[in-house]
Each structure stands twice: as structure tokens, then as C-alpha cells.
Amino acid sequence: MFLQCRGGCRYWILGILIVSVACAPRVRTKGSPSSPTPESEKTALPIDRSEWSWVDRQGGIRTYQQTQDKIRAIMNEHGVQGLSITLKQGRAWSDNPDVFNIDMGFEDLGSKKPIDAMTVFRADRLGQAVVAYLVMRLVTGEQFDLDRPLSKYLSKSAVENSVYRDVARDHRYSHLTARRILSHQSGLADSLPDHPERKPLFIASPGKGFVYSDEGYGFLQFVLEQKFGKSLDELGQIYIFSPLEMKRTSFSRSTHFNGQAMAPPITSSSKDDLGPASPWIFMTTASDFTRFMWTVRLENPYLSREAFMSYVVYPTVSIHSRSILDTATSEGDPSLPNKLAWCLGWGTYQIPRVILGACSFIGKKSRGMESYATIFESQHSTALTIFLVSSSSGSCTPLILKELLGDLESPLSWLGF
């Protein structure tokens, strides 16, 4: 059975209905996350990590000791400098025995400073799910409209004095909306890290299919900052980071991260010392991002029901491209199975032959850095974030994911891993 969605796309509905049934009873429109727990209890971990165990996606039991040894072997074989993993199963986030942190390797090879749960990683693409959540909070509070043309929020002078002046001169500018940007249907070209002068431009009409674009999110950031008179990081702190206690997450290089931030290798073309040129920056820890996924997906303390369902349950656009950056086939390839779609801020993937097999995901592999986050909602709901730094030209995330959750079909190859 299929439904018709905006832009004429069609998508599967069985897994979505199952997930919505599982999630919907917990939807609340206001309030706060689970009752506060003293900080000492929140950070407490079992003394004997050999007792840690969790359920993989086939229903088997994985132990920390077995997984640690196998991950260490992968690191040695593939030149992984360091990694940080947080895996969550079970009940509320405050139920700490069900939160597992695996940190190995070094922040800096020279000083041999070890990675720990406080180590911050730059993971810009993962921030898209956070930006989308920010927008949905504003939508819930009737402070923003998903489908209002973004041009209505901007003065002519503000755009003319910005890097987006050429975008505003294009007739397609009036069709840009937050929904289209959050679902990568803005039609704006992706950012070019090695281009000396970033000039955003349209390569397709908004709403005509999935075309991945960092620039779209950069433009949305510009709109939000102009409308609310605050930086994206300030808005994030007010609506997300402080309420969800994400103490080491930022949309800027916060000073208290100095000395504990992992970064991509630096190239001569990089203007930002933390990595490639980008319309925006997102920094977080594996623990903070897993907390974010778990709370907004399974506890949902702040969104209205309508905003929640649009954010994480109902796909906005089906995807048939062979790669996230493949614009040539972004209009659709009917020969590909209809498993992949994009909601608002992150993708959704229908896993065959798995009960409640729809997962949400976001991730990226580039220049020695790998970041991947996914959440499954089922009898054994699982949220997982992986950050790693590697000298290998290949990808280690699929190997590590297999050791953590078993042999499972995933969208990793589509993401470029």
C-alpha cells in the first residue's frame, strides 16, 4: 500500500504505521524529559564492564568484552587513531545501566591523550537532525511555518548584503521553504569545500526531488538568525542543548571544548581549522547525540503530535539515487527497491525481513573522519552513535556496526561508507 506525498513521491507505509503506533502514545506537547537525576548518577557506569551486554538486531546477546576485543582488532588493522561510541537500549535515558560508552585510542597521537566520553567531534551532517528539531520546536510554538516561503522572513537588504544575494535574484527563490530544505528538496547545489569563494546557486527547482545540499541548511540558518535575532548556537542552547542537558554540544567552536576536540585532518584549502569549508558547524559527543536521538524519538517532551509525526515518522520524499551525492539520478530510478526516504533532518530506511525494521539515520565519511548515528524503535529500541578518526581510505564504520548490532542491511553504502 502506498500514499501520495508532497512533490508526487510515493513511499512505503507498513513500517511507518508500525513505528507510528510504537511512538505515538508517548507524544507530549509540553513539559520536560524524565525527572531529573543527580549528575553523579547520570555519569555512573558499572564498575565491571565485562558485565555489560545488549541485544543485537537478530535477538542475540552481545557482550562488552567480546565486542571490545573485536573493535580493537579493527582499529589496529585499519589505522584507526581513536573512536567514541555510545549505545543505548532499554528504558528512559536516565536509566544509566542501559547506556554503554566505548572509547578507544587517542585524541592526539603526540601526547597520547586518550579519548573519553567528554571528547567532542565535529560532525556537521549530524547537526541537520538537530536543526530540524529546532525548527519543529518553533513550529510547535507557532513561531515558524514549515511551508511559508522563506523569502517572507527576510528583508530585501538583508539578502542583498549576504552571500545569498544571487539565490534571491533567481525566480526559484520564492519557492524555498523550511520543509523543502529540511528534506533536501531545496534545489540548491551542495557546498564545495575546495571552492575559494562559495556562491550558493540553484541547480534544480525546489520541491522537484531529493538533491542533497549543505547550502540549503546554511540558508535556513541565515533565515533563523535574521528572524529571531540570535545565532544558531544561541537558539540551540535555548531550545535543545540546555533542556536536554547536552552540555558538550554546540553550533560553534565553544572555548570549553579546547583540548578535547577531534577534528578532520587540515588541508591548505581549509579556511576553518576544524575541517572543510561549510555553511555551518556542529560539534558534539557520542553520548550527547545519542541522548538527543533517544529523547526526541522515544520520549518526545516538547513537540506537538503533528510536528513529531512530520519530523520522524512520515517521509517527505522518496529516494532512488545510488548515492547521497548522486544528483544525476535524484529524479528517481524505478529499478531500485523503495526502501529509502527522507523525513525532516534525517533519513529513514526500511530493513527487509526485520520486525519493526524502520530505522532513522544520519552520517558522513570524509577526510579521515567518520560519523554515523542511527535509531531503531522496536521491542529492543536501540540508539547508536559512532565517531572515529582513521588514516584508512576505506571505511571502518560498517565493520564496527556489525560487531555491535550484528549482520544487518543498512544505508551505509548509500551514505558513502
Whether the predicted pLDDT of 45 surpasses 50:
no
- Hey, which of 12-21, 239-248, 267-276 has the most confident mean pLDDT? 239-248
Strand locations in 309-357, DSSP E?
A: 317-318, 340-342, 347-350
Determine the average pLDDT of the residues in 395-401: 95
The kind and range of the H/E element at 101 are strand 99-108
Window from 31-40, 99-108, 130-139, 323-332 with minimum mean pLDDT: 31-40
247-306 tens-digit pLDDT: 999 998 776 777 677 755 443 343 444 434 456 789 999 999 999 999 999 889 999 999
pLDDT for 216 equals 94
What's the pTM?
0.85
CATH number of 2-30+56-415: 3.40.710.10
Indicate the pLDDT class of residue 180, thresholds 50, 70 and 90. very high
Determine the average pLDDT of the residues in 104-123: 88
Q: How far apart are CA 203 and CA 184, in angstroms?
A: 12
Which has more pLDDT, 119 or 278?
119
Q: How far apart are CA 352 and CA 408, in angstroms?
A: 9
- Hey, which of 26-35, 202-211, 329-338 has the most confident mean pLDDT? 202-211
Percent of the chain with pLDDT over 70: 76
Q: How far apart are CA 145 and CA 112, in angstroms?
A: 49
Whether the predicted pLDDT of 177 surpasses 90:
yes
pLDDT for 183 equals 96
Which has more pLDDT, 188 or 23?
188
Whether the predicted pLDDT of 22 surpasses 60:
no
Indicate the pLDDT class of residue 29, thresholds 50, 70 and 90. very low
The bridge status of strand 317-318 relative to strand 283-284 is unpaired
CA distances from 267 to 54, 259, 368, 404 (A): 40, 20, 12, 33
Which has more pLDDT, 272 or 350?
350
Q: How far apart are CA 86 and CA 150, in angstroms?
A: 36
Q: What cell was used for 144? A: 515558524
Window from 130-139, 151-160, 315-324 with minimum mean pLDDT: 315-324
Indicate the pLDDT class of residue 327, thresholds 50, 70 and 90. low
Q: How far apart are CA 405 and CA 100, in angstroms?
A: 13
Which has more pLDDT, 317 or 27?
317
